[in-house]
Amino acid sequence: MIWGIIGAMPSEIALLQTQMSNVKKETISGLTYQSGVIRGKEVVLCCSEIGKVNAAMCAQTLALRYNVGCMINTGVAGCTCDDLTVLDLVLSRDLVFHDYDWKLQEKYHPHTSSFPGDPGLIALAQKALAGMSEHIGYKLGRIATGDVFVEDEGLRRSIIERTHPDCVEMEGAAIALVAYSNQIPCLVIRCMSDNANGDAGMSFDTFEKIAADHSAKLLLSMLELAE
């Protein structure tokens, strides 16, 4: 099986790149896809750049050009729940859009307003977390996606009231929609870089790299454990 791995920013794939061997690069529609081997598994790694459209374009290329057997989106997010803190993780129980009309989404393709994380990938991630030497707090929860960096308390409250997420970010649900449409197992891994409030920008600048590496370390452990 080929693992399709997407990070939106260079920091989110940097650690993974250092672990790749037999690397071959291909540029499609302006994005660079790196094929190679990590921890004995075939992977295609891509930095999609930020936002839903870029993420969906990247995911569809992984599905059609590379015929990946699963998709993992790794990276950082803003926390919107009370039982996690900065540098904790969220594994995608499900994903939704916070800036799209759910009724329209249910009426038209793909006729659903939420996208579940794959049970097998969730179980593998939980097993990997249990075996890691570094303890990282985590939650199986809801991730809400929209084309905005949330750093306003009013917007944060509005998103929580409408979608009840555990964290917010800018790509996950778009990738999950593409995976769902192509019947490809998908999991989104997010490490909290901030609390999606008025201090989000400063917190993000401080913790982005550490949070990105936390997500990547979990993915490396998953690759090592996978059969």
- Helices 52-64, 172-181: axis angle to 10 degrees equals 30
Query: 89-97 and 115-116: which strand pairing?
Result: antiparallel
Q: Which residues are catalytic?
A: 12, 194
- Residue-wise pLDDT for 37-79, tens only, equals 999 999 999 999 999 999 999 999 999 999 999 999 999 999 9
Checking if the pLDDT of 201 tops 70, the result is no
Q: At what angle do helices 119-131 and 200-225 cross, to 10 degrees?
A: 100
**Identity at 117, one-letter amino acid code:** G
pLDDT tens for 146-187 read 999 898 889 999 999 999 999 999 999 999 999 999 999 999
Condensed to tens digits (0 to 9), the pLDDT of residues 88-121 reads: 999 999 999 999 988 888 999 999 999 999 999 9
